[in-house]
Chain A
Amino acid sequence: MVGAGVVGAACAYYAARAGLAVAVVDRGPVAGGTTGAGEGNLLVSDKEPGPELDLALLSTRLWRELAEDLGEAVEYEPKGGVVVASTAAGHEALRAFAAGQRAVGVIAEEVPGERLRELEPHLAPGLAGGFHYPQDAQVQPALAAAHLLRAARRMGAELITGETVTAVDLGPDGAVRGVRTDRRRLAAPAVVNAAGTWGGELAALAGVHLPVMPRRGFVLVTEPLPRVVRHKVYAADYVANVASGSAGLETSAVIEGTPGGPVLIGASRERVGFDRTLSQEVLRRLAGQAAELFPVLADVTVLRAYRGFRPYLPDHLPAIGADPRVPGLHHACGHEGAGIGLAPATGLLIAEQLTGKQPELDLGPFRADRFPVVGTA
């Protein structure tokens, strides 16, 4: 497993549980990339019917199972999501979206505007209405990765951090034989690319094209507060932004409390490469939208901000499963902003494939060779 983020951790966990001998290698620490910069969203609410929602529904079930052992340690909270619309037209669009989701097993309860404050007492008055998604949940992502890895290590997996994979070894038949790091050679008949935003580079080491690119996001963290936000609350335009192909800055309020007290305020999306520059415009929009949704937040203090880079593929679906171009090479990357949520399903499907079982979901839509080689995007 190349990558000690939450996806690599979940792959290691399910593979070790299936009895495989596993090593996880990462050039940085555990949860050092996108995982450590995430909010920990386990969402079904923002996904339209299709392969990603299928993954999310499977993950929802798996997270619930994982939580029986790890729940407290990873701060698992099945708190539910609330999506709100400010206009009647927006509410109508949510209604149509929810109808499609219900057909495939998502629980979505319509909430009229006047009853929103029963769910969220501090919401701004005058919102047209919303939907309540009780399946949405949250974990603390770095803890999730670390505890999945600890569990994997207890089942025999080895964790190697601070070593960079410099080559993927291929045999004369073109099949994977392992990887080399700057310090050692790891022999293995299967290599799983869980390298997140760097997944494209790892694929290139194996000689294949996988156009994973970064999409920058900022999160604001407030001072510790009493529980003023109970669910994961976001505005209806978030769904449109998640699916958008625009390179420009998009922001939509995603607001939630944490067990530690601080409120997290996301989410922004920009395609600016790996530029880490703090954007005043992002701060202005995130803060403004948060105060619009929860006026009480206007008076709180923001202690810090952090940024991360979501690994995305051109069609916004991850790459999961065996790469038909290189026997033994598997991918588990490109989950964009949904990696924490989709990690267990990804790990389980990878483990099923590695052990020769029929994966419980069709991996066809996630094939890594679905992108034609046409220079750089």
Chain B
Amino acid sequence: MPTSPSDPSSFGPPADASSGPLADPLFDPLFDLAVIGAGPAGLAAAVTAADLGLRCVLLDGGQGTGGQYYRHPAPGLGAARPDRLHHHWSAYTGLADRLAAHERAGRAAFRGGHQVWALERTGDGFAAHVTRGPESTDRATVRSRSVLLATGAYERQLPFPGWTLPGVVTAGGAQAMLKAGLVLPGRRIVVAGSGPLLLAAASSLVTAGAEVPAVVEATAYLGYARRPGVLAGVPGKLVEGAGHGGALLRHGVRLRPRSAVVEAHGTDRVTGVTVARLDARWRPLPGTERRIDCDALAVGHGLLPQIDLATELGARTRTGPDGAVALAVDARLRTSVPGLWSAGETNGVGGADLALAEGELAAYAVAGALPEAGTLRRRSRLRAFAELMAAAHRPGPGWTGWLRPDTDVCRCEEVPVAAIREAVDDLGAGDPRTVKLLTRAGMGWCQGRMCGPAVACLAGSAPGSASGGPGPDRRPLGCPVPLSQLAAGPSPESPAS
């Protein structure tokens, strides 16, 4: 298998396992370990687990490995240097090479296009129920003794007037377009929201040739400075931040702290935004509005752990300093569900380096082996840093001040702010689930992943909060599934199929 990053086609799905001479060991229908998600945490876990002698299957909804973070151009786009869009590209290629070697030796298998929609506990471990292929054409069941959840995170979105206009994309979405398709969402792009992803996105955008008139950050970035000890423990993070900062400086990008985009303008497409200053609680300050012309807006408020598969099994959760619900794990990254482990963003968003470390540590724990002390130390430093970042970028309650009654909160079902306020004020809804039942907010295609945080704020309770929130969302189906596949029922796993 070619290994140069200049040949992205080498990261496609592996050749048919049944044709390989060493594929036989994988015919056992019960794997030692199924790793769900082939981003940094999952890749590191699968490779380490195979190093340690576990027979391991790595599942991902995408066709190739890498996940959101190591997203790279689809084969055929002729990208010469995917590494230019990535920090630590060599970390990815190193893992991908090791995975390929394990696959050749029959110790591990990567199954791309495998979207897991439910995990089921069975007598001897777990069955992962999968809808398969880019068109969800058929169903598979992958059985394993243990499962490691490395399903990453998705973007937290907070609505504002105009956020559904074409040209408004998420900060992560803008990066994904760039990484996977080498396209820009516009020519003059305002980047707004809160969190370290903004700097990374703005830096990628200007490097790829876009004009970024402003990076609009809701916090003051003061949170980091309060705990210098933690920062000193992770100099790599400072270097990375300095790298983004340098790129932005060179391109003359203006950073506007304590500000937010309070409205996007345009009819067919965004043509400009209004930016306002915020107070410490994120309330927009009247009289501070200014307009910035642009043809695209990339907006994001950090990431939320993607943990449906585990919460559906009753795994315990915790609410992080950013208000996000993550899985509660012990020092060995075990969830409260026996045999279920979790690594990376699912334990609280903390970035790729932390995910790599946790993936490796979880694999050691599953194998019952002792990890390197250095990895343990690195993990705890990075985890502490993640908590600090999470606290710094927690959305303030005042953001609802930029909403208007007619602003859609749930864009799938087109539920405006006014309908949600009516459910809360007149109909007795005090939590997101009841708001959903009474307004349909969160009942559409995305199943509340987009509007969930906003609905929780408007309902006056955040999920899992001490104020009596109902706990994390539970979604029996992790993603939409064709009815015919539900009707087909689980099948015994056969790698040859």
Contact = CB atoms under 8 A, between A and B. Distances in A.
Interface residues of B, number: 41
A298 B477 contact: no
A332 interface: no
B483 A301 contact: yes
B438 A142 contact: yes
A147 B481 contact: no
B208 interface: no
Contacts of B484: 287, 291, 298-299
Nearest to A286: B486
A305 B429 CA distance: 22
A296 to B, nearest CB: 10
Decide if the interface of chain B is mainly helix, strand, loop or mixed. loop
Closest 3 CB pairs of A and B: A142-B437, A287-B486, A287-B487
Nearest to B482: A301
A159 B428 contact: yes
Given A287-B487, A302-B486, A307-B476, 4 more contacts: A36-B433, A142-B437, A299-B483, A302-B482
A187 B489 CA distance: 54
Contacts of B423: 146
A290 B483 CA distance: 9
A150 B425 CA distance: 10
B488 interface: yes
A149 B484 CA distance: 40
A198 to B, nearest CB: 16
Nearest to A9: B428
Interface in B122-155: 127, 129, 136
Interface in A275-293: 276-278, 280-281, 283-284, 286-288, 290-291
A299 B487 CA distance: 11
Interface centre among A36, A150, A278 (most CB of B within 10 A): A278
Interface in B439-457: 440, 443-445, 447
B487 A305 contact: no
Contacts of A305: 476-477
B434 A32 contact: yes
Contacts of B121: 277
A266 B282 CA distance: 45
Interface in B329-351: none
Contacts of B490: 280, 284
A280 B312 contact: no
Interface string A286-318: 111011000001111111111100000000000
Nearest to A28: B470
Interface of A: 4, 28-32, 36, 142-143, 146-147, 149-150, 159, 161-162, 220-224, 260, 262, 276-278, 280-281, 283-284, 286-288, 290-291, 297-307
Nearest to B428: A30
B426 A300 contact: no
A298 B487 contact: yes
B486 A146 contact: no
A207 B435 CA distance: 36
Contact of B413 (A4, A32, A260): A260
Given A31-B434, A161-B430, A284-B489, A260 B440 contact: yes
Contacts of A143: 437-438
Contacts of B470: 28-29
A150 B433 CA distance: 18
Interface in B289-331: 312, 314
B283 to A, nearest CB: 27
Interface string B167-184: 000000000000000000
B481 A278 contact: no
Given A31-B434, A32-B434, A150 B427 contact: yes
Interface centre among B312, B314, B426 (most CB of A within 10 A): B426
Interface in B469-497: 470, 474-477, 480-484, 486-490
B473 to A, nearest CB: 11
B483 A29 contact: no
9 contacts: A28-B470, A161-B428, A222-B483, A260-B413, A276-B314, A278-B312, A287-B483, A301-B480, A306-B476
Contacts of A278: 118, 120, 312, 476
A302 B481 contact: yes
Contacts of A276: 314, 474
Contacts of A146: 423, 427-429, 438
A143 B429 CA distance: 11
Contact of B477 (A147, A149, A303): A303
Contacts of A303: 443-445, 447, 477, 480
Nearest to A290: B483
B483 A302 contact: yes
A260 B441 CA distance: 12
B468 interface: yes
Contacts of B487: 284, 287-288, 290-291, 298
Nearest to B442: A304
Contacts of A30: 427-429, 434
A29 B476 contact: no
Contact of A304 (B434, B438, B477, B482): B477
Contacts of A262: 443
Nearest to B119: A278
Given A278-B476, A303-B447, A29 B486 contact: no
B431 interface: yes
